[in-house]
Structure 1
């Protein structure tokens, strides 16, 4: 990954020969007068006082958490597969299988085997969790972390965690899938992971708070010990 600055120019935009003016259904200042009262009324009409759960979390689940702990510490912690045994609700007992692939268990479904690979980018401060139940060849369950230095964003020292995952078709028991997924979904002795999709925002929110609680407690304890040693 490069951080080299480069000068952009309009001519380098990929247009496929289609001018933006010729693309229908765009909403912008060239097509709508944003100074008119009726435009403001239309924009206000797009808001809702309440949203159905599926309108927000039907196809993806995104949440955020502020952690009063330095960015580098949060990154190193979350990029370590074994930290998941501390902050997740049910994932435990990891062992390294080889080639960066880990196998653990998910206690939510009678200790179902869980396979995991973490792809972390130190420069971008991203931590991607690629995982799957029962098999490690197709890691279709994806959980994406992005970490920000909180101070230039919200004026407070610490780290912002942005966590997103999307509803892959395999979560749905009725979707088309290869045999290794169909067989896993057909088991009658346990629930299927997709049955918990409606609770993903609740569980992931709890787990994000677990990360916050663990790191803040340890970092504050470290600071307190340093202050005691300085006296």
Structure 2
């Protein structure tokens, strides 16, 4: 699926080191990076079996970071593989291509609370009727928790049983081999990679006086 969205058009190519997107690091090149982030000094299943949580500090205003995340199209920029967001006929529901899976469509509805600065992405591969993959994010004012300007982002996923077994096999592309749950053991490292992307992009724009949410999302 091609995209007409001018993602990162306000940033010259290659000027932010450490941003890994499928365009500059394909799955084969990125897998060893993620595997290196998985440490053998702790029991991975015990730490990441039922929940996957990552968190980090971003040197950018919290309400600006929240507003950026609250726009579903931001996923076009800071996630590793979600591309080509297009609104569906259902209000608030977007379809995109998840390039982790061949010919895979992902559906996303974003649920937000501006007062609490929560952003929940309700997603599913292949079909948009039952959005069971829930990505829970909260932006916290770093002035409150760290006594310094900026944002703290908390991000949690729960291991829904559908990660183990595809509940809608009739909607899956016939040629696709992996199921999203096959990547669960890599979620923590993969989400940390994406949180690093989010941090780099927000901080780049904030330090240069650019809007955190670029003009093409307005």
TM-score clears 0.5: yes
Aligned runs of 1:16-31 on 2, under 5 Å?
A: none
Gaps (5+ residues) in structure 2? Answer: 1-40, 211-218
* 1:118-165 deviation line (CA, Å, top 9, x unaligned): 001101100000000000000000000011000120122100000001
Q: Which residue of 1 aligns with 2:203?
A: 216
**Is the Cα contact below 8 Å between 2:103 and 2:173 reproduced in 1?**
no
Q: Which residue of 2 aligns with 1:96?
A: 87
User: For residues 78 and 108 of structure 2, what CA distance do their matches in structure 1 show?
Assistant: 15
**Is the Cα contact below 8 Å between 2:104 and 2:173 reproduced in 1?**
no
TM-score, normalised via structure 2 length? 0.74
Q: Which residue of 1 aligns with 2:163?
A: 171
Q: Which structure: greater helix fraction?
A: 1
Gaps (5+ residues) in structure 1? Answer: 1-49, 224-231
Deviation at 1:182, TM superposition (A): 3.3
The ranges of structure 1 where at least 4 consecutive aligned residues each deviate by more than 4 angstroms after the TM superposition are 184-188
Deviation at 1:111, TM superposition (A): 3.5
User: In structure 1, the residue corresponding to 2:135 is in which secondary structure?
Assistant: strand
**Is the Cα contact below 8 Å between 1:171 and 1:193 reproduced in 2?**
yes
Q: Which residue of 1 aligns with 2:12?
A: none
User: For residues 207 and 127 of structure 1, what CA distance do their matches in structure 2 show?
Assistant: 16
**Is the Cα contact below 8 Å between 1:185 and 1:192 reproduced in 2?**
no
TM-score, normalised via structure 1 length? 0.70
Query: Which of structures 1 and 2 has the bigger CA Rg?
Result: 1
Aligned length: 170
Higher relative contact order (CA 8 A, sep 6+): 2
RMSD: 1.8
**Is the Cα contact below 8 Å between 1:151 and 1:158 reproduced in 2?**
yes
